[in-house]
Amino acid sequence: MSGGMDHDRVIIFDTTLRDGEQSPGASMNLDEKVRIALVLEEMGVDVIEAGFPFASKGDFEAVQAVAEAVRNSAVCGLARATRGDIERCAEAIRPAARGRIHTFISTSPLHMKYKLQMEPDKVLERVTESVTLARTLTDDVEWSAEDGSRTEPDFLCRCVEAAIAAGARTVNIPDTVGYALPDEYAALIRHLLDRVPNIDRAIISVHCHNDLGLAVANSLAAVKAGARQVECTVNGLGERAGNAAMEEIVMALRTRHDLLPFTAGIRTEHITRASRLVSAITGFPVQPNKAIVGKNAFAHESGIHQDGVLKHAQTYEIMTPESVGLHRSSLVMGKHSGRAAFRAKLKELGYELDEAAVDSAFIRFKDLADRKKDIFDEDILALVDDAVLRGQTRIRLASLEILCGTMHNPPEATLELDIDGEVKSCKASGDGPVDATFNAIKALFPHEARLQLFQVHAVTQGTDAQAEVTVRLEEDGKTVQGQGADTDTLVAAARAYLNALNKLLVKRQKTAPAALSA
C-alpha cells in the first residue's frame, strides 16, 4: 500500500452506475445517475464509477454530468485498453474535482485466447501502453486485470508490476465471473503482496461478482489479506448475479470490527435511503430477506424473538435499524397534516428534495390522504419514489377510466396521455382491465416492446393499500423495468408501464454498449 495512507482504511469504490447499470433492465437516465451519485457522495463513498464513456453518447454525458455535480468523491470512468476509450474517458471526467481513469484488459488464459485473441506478451505490452497513456491524461489511474481470479498467478504478478511501473495507483483484481472461494482469493492477494516488487506503490483493489453468492465473503477475505479498496454496488446490483453489496461490506466492517479491524468512511445512516433510491430508479425490487436493506432485515416475527428484543434489543439484533437509517414504521400523518410536517417527515426518511419536488410530492400526499385513511412511512416512500421516477418523461398519464366487471365484457380502458406536451386520447379493450390499459397505451404510442414481467405488490396492509407495480419491457434485446404506485392498481400499472416505456425511449438513443473486450 502506498506510503502515507492509513493502513486500516478501506476505500469504498461504488460501481452502481457502471457495473450496476449493466444488469439487464437496470438502465438509468442522466438525471437519475446524478441523483444517485449525489446520495453516494453524501454517504461518503470514496470513488464513484459513473459509467463507460466510450460505450455511448448517453454514457459519456452521464459521466460528465456526475463529474460536474460531485465534489467530494473521486469520479471514475471505465475504459478498455485502447486509445479511443482512454481519451474519451479522460474527456468525460475532466470536470471532476478528482477524476480517475479505470482501464482494464483481460489476463486469464481463456479470455486472452478466445476473447482477445492475443498472446500474453502482447497483453502485457498493452498494460504498459494503456496505463502510460492514461497517466498522461490524469494522475489517478486504476488498472484492472479482467478475469483476474482465473489468471495464472505469475503472469498476474507481471501484469500488476507493469501497471504499477507505468503509473497505476490502484490495481484491481476482479473475480469477474464470481468463481473464487474466499481462501483461494485471499491467497491470490497475498501472493501479489509477496511477489510484486513495486506493490507498495499501489493500492490493491477487489471487485467480486456474486455468481456463487460469495462476493461479499471474497471481498472481506481479500481485505483481511491486504486489499484496501473494495468495489461494490448498492443492493448488490450488477452483471448477472450482481456485485458485492456495498451495504453488506460496510456493515460487516462496522459490526465485526473485532475481527475486521478496518474502517470505511461511509455514513451508514444513508444506506436505507440509497437502497430505496436505487431500487426505485432501476425498478429492481429488493428481496424482503436481503441482508441490511430487505424489508424483513430488522423485522421480528416469532413471539420468542419479539419478546427477546423487547427485553434487550441485542438478543436478536446485531445492528440497530437506526445505524442503517431505518426508522421503525409508524402511523405518520393524515389529511390534516401540513406541509411543514410533511417536509419534516421526508427529511426523517432521508429525502432532501428541492422546493418544486416537495410541492409535487405534497400534492400527491394530499391526494392520497383523501383516498386512504392511514398513511404510513411506506406510503410516503412509495409516492416520493413514484414522483422521482416520473421526473423527466416524454409520455405522461393524464387520465384513465376503466369499465370492467362481470357485466361488462370485454373490459374497456379510456386513456389520455400527454405525449411530448400534446394530450391524446383513445379507447381500447383487452382480455382484462390491465390488458385493456396497456393496449390503449400501445394505440396512442405504437411500439414493438414486449411485456416480460407484470408484478403487483401491496405497499402496506388493508384494502386501501397502495399498489406498487413493476413492469419489464423488452425491445431488440434491451430490457427496462418501470415502477408505479397508486391506491388504484390500474393507475399504478399504467404508470409503471409508462415509466418503463420512457426508459426504453432513452435507451433507444444509446448505441449498443460495446462488448467489454480490449
Query: Choosing among ligand KIV, Zn ion, none, which partner's interface includes residue 270 (Cβ < 5 to 8 Å by kind)?
Result: none
Least gap, CB of 184 to ligand KIV (angstroms): 17
Cell of 5: 495512507
**Comparing C-alpha atoms, which of 163, 138, 124 is closest to residue 77?**
138
Nearer to ligand KIV, 172 or 218 (CB): 172
Distance CA 166, CA 105 (A): 15
Q: Is residue 248 close enough to count as binding Zn ion by CB under 5 A?
A: no
- Map the footprint of Zn ion across residues 3-32, applying CB under 5 A: 19
**Contact with ligand KIV (CB under 6 A) among 144, 437, 481, 483:** 144
Map residue 120 onto helix, strand or coil: helix
Nearer to Zn ion, 96 or 173 (CB): 173
**Contact with ligand KIV (CB under 6 A) among 23, 107, 149, 176:** 176
Binding mask 192-231 for Zn ion (x = CB under 5 A): ----------------------------------------
**Comparing C-alpha atoms, which of 255, 200, 239, 244 is closest to residue 222?**
244
Map residue 205 onto helix, strand or coil: strand
Nearer to ligand KIV, 173 or 492 (CB): 173
| Stretch of 40-48, 170-178, 387-395, 500-508 lying at the interface with ligand KIV (CB under 6 A) | 170-178
Query: Choosing among ligand KIV, Zn ion, none, which partner's interface includes residue 144 (Cβ < 5 to 8 Å by kind)?
Result: ligand KIV
Binding mask 419-448 for ligand KIV (x = CB under 6 A): ------------------------------
Least gap, CB of 24 to ligand KIV (angstroms): 15
Distance CA 254, CA 263 (A): 7
Binding mask 3-32 for ligand KIV (x = CB under 6 A): ----------------x-------------
Nearest residue to Zn ion, scored by beta-carbon proximity: 19
Q: Is residue 175 close enough to count as binding Zn ion by CB under 5 A?
A: no
Using a 10 angstrom Cβ sphere, with 0-12 exposed, 13-18 middle and 19 or more buried, the burial of residue 3 is exposed
Nearer to Zn ion, 14 or 19 (CB): 19
Nearer to ligand KIV, 25 or 411 (CB): 25
**Comparing C-alpha atoms, which of 139, 218, 204 is closest to residue 176?**
218
Nearer to ligand KIV, 172 or 393 (CB): 172
Least gap, CB of 144 to ligand KIV (angstroms): 4
**Comparing C-alpha atoms, which of 442, 440, 360, 451 is closest to residue 400?**
440
SS (H, E, C) 17-59: CCCHHHCCECCCCHHHHHHHHHHHHHHCCCEEEEECHHHCHHH
Cβ 445 vs Cβ 395: under 8 Å: yes
Cβ 366 vs Cβ 335: under 8 Å: yes
The pairs formed by 450-458 with CB atoms below 8 angstroms and a separation of 24 or more are: 450/474, 450/475, 452/479, 453/481, 454/493, 455/285, 456/489, 456/492, 456/493, 457/285
**Contact with ligand KIV (CB under 6 A) among 169, 207, 478, 503:** 207
Distance CA 243, CA 516 (A): 16
Distance CA 274, CA 36 (A): 7
| Stretch of 169-177, 184-192, 321-329, 343-351 lying at the interface with ligand KIV (CB under 6 A) | 169-177
Q: Cα 496–497–502 angle (5° rounding)?
A: 100
Q: Is residue 53 close enough to count as binding ligand KIV by CB under 6 A?
A: no
Q: Cα 351–18–473 angle (5° rounding)?
A: 80
Nearer to ligand KIV, 141 or 387 (CB): 141
Least gap, CB of 337 to ligand KIV (angstroms): 46
Q: Is residue 54 close enough to count as binding ligand KIV by CB under 6 A?
A: no
Distance CA 215, CA 347 (A): 33
**Contact with ligand KIV (CB under 6 A) among 104, 284, 351, 362:** 104
Which residues would be at the binding site for ligand KIV (CB under 6 A)? 19, 104, 144, 146, 172, 174, 176, 207, 209, 516
